[in-house]
Amino acid sequence: MMTDDMIALRELLEKGSDATLLREMIGFAAQRLMELETEALCGAGHGERSEERTNLRNGYRDRDWHTRAGTVELRIPKLRKGSYFPGFLEPRRMAEKALTAVIQESYVQGISTRSVDELVKAMGMDGISKSQVSRLCAEIDNRVQTFLRRPIEGEWPYLWLDATYVKARRDHHIVSVAVIVAMAVNTDGRREVLGMTIGNSEAEPFWTEFLRSLTRRGLRGVKLVISDAHEGLKAAITKVLSATWQRCRVHFMRNALAHAGKTQRRIVSAWIGTAFAQDDAEAARKQWRQVADQARPRISRLAALMDDAEADVLAYMGFPPQHRTKIHSTNPLERLNGEIKRRSEGCRHLPQ
C-alpha cells in the first residue's frame, strides 16, 4: 500500500497547475470527508428524508486551513443539535500528511479503498461506511485522472524525460516497473510535470505511446529534449518529436569516467569540464576535440566515446547562455525520481 511513504508531491511539483491540483484535491477530499461524517452523525444524507434521522444540518461556517500546499478554504457543516468540529483540524493530528499521501497515490497509480480507510482513521473520523469510502476513492481518482489528461496549452521549448524503477504488485507477484515522467518549461518560464505513467519497462513502444499521448493532449513547440541515452527513449524521441536531443551531461560523465582508472577520474573529469566551461558552441566543440585527442593515446575507449557523443552532449550550447545551466542534464527530474524511489522503498511496493 501507499501511505505517506509514497511521493512527497508537494515538494516535487514546485510550480504551476501541479501545486494547484494538490491544494484543490486536499480541499475536495477534506470537504467530502466532513460531509460523510456529518451524514453519519445525522443518521441521513443532506436533504434526505429518513425515519432514522437523528439530527439536522444547519448551514456552514467558513474556516481557512493553512497547509504546506497553500491555504485551503473549508466549509465546516453545522448541526441543529450539538456541534461538529472535524477531528483532522485538531492540533498535532497528521491529517494533512495523510491526505497528501492518498492524493499522491491516485496521481501515480490509482488509490485503493484500504488507503482511504486508513486515511479516515488517521483523520480521526468515525462512522464512515465502506461504501462511502469506495465512492470517495472513485471521486478522487476521477478528479486526478482529469488533471493528468488535461489539455497542454501553449509552447514548451524544453522537455525533460526520465524513468526510475520501483517495486509493484502485479497478479499477486512483486515485480519491478518503470515510472516514467515528463517535465517541461513553457515560454513563460513555468515548469510543470506534464505526464507520468507506469509500465513494465522502458521499451521503445512504451516511450513512443507516452510521447504520443502528450502530443495528443497538445504538446507543441518542443525545441530541446533532455534525457539519458536509453536506446528505446532515443528512438521514441526521433519518431514522435521534431526536436534536438540533449544527452544528459551527468549521465555521460558517469559513462566517461567508467573508462578511466580510479587514479585518473578526477583528471579526466577536469579535462572534459574545460569544454563545458567555454562561452559558445564553437569553442566548446573545439575544446572537446582537443580533450578527445589528448585522451586517445592512453584511453582510446574514452576518446571514441567522446567522438560519438560530441553533438549530443554539447547540444545545449546552441541555446541561450542563461538557460544552459538548467538544460544540460536531467537534474530537474533526478530529484523527483530519487524521491519516488526513496519513498516507494519505504512502503515496500506499490499496490496492484
Count CB atoms within 10 A of the CB of residue 75.
Answer: 14
pLDDT tens per residue, range 198-219: 877 778 999 999 999 999 999 9
pLDDT tens per residue, range 130-189: 777 777 777 777 777 787 788 999 999 999 998 877 766 666 667 777 788 899 999 998
pLDDT band at 122 (very low <50, low <70, confident <90, very high): low
Average confidence (pLDDT) over 266-282: 94
Residues 6+ apart with CB under 8 A from 153: 218
Residue 248 burial (10 A CB sphere; 0-12, 13-18, 19+)? buried
| Alpha carbons 225 and 1: distance in angstroms, whole number | 34
Residue 349's pLDDT is 43
Residue type, 164: T
| Alpha carbons 308 and 301: distance in angstroms, whole number | 11
Residue 12's pLDDT is 38
Residue 266 burial (10 A CB sphere; 0-12, 13-18, 19+)? exposed
| 3 vs 39: which has the higher pLDDT | 39
Residue 249's pLDDT is 95
pLDDT tens per residue, range 60-117: 999 998 877 788 899 999 999 998 988 878 765 566 666 666 666 655 555 666 667 7
- pLDDT surpasses 80 at 302: yes
Residue 43's pLDDT is 87
In three-state form (DSSP H/G/I as H, E/B as E, the rest C), the secondary structure along 148-169 is HCCCCCCCCCEEEEEEEEEEEE
Q: What cell was used for 217?
A: 493532449
Residue 338's pLDDT is 55
Residue 6's pLDDT is 35
Nearest CA to 124 out of 209, 39, 34, 48 is that of 34
| Range in 95-99, 137-141, 269-273, 286-290 with the lowest mean pLDDT | 95-99
Nearest CA to 180 out of 150, 157, 154, 203 is that of 203
The pTM of this model reads 0.70
pLDDT band at 314 (very low <50, low <70, confident <90, very high): very high
Residue 247's pLDDT is 97
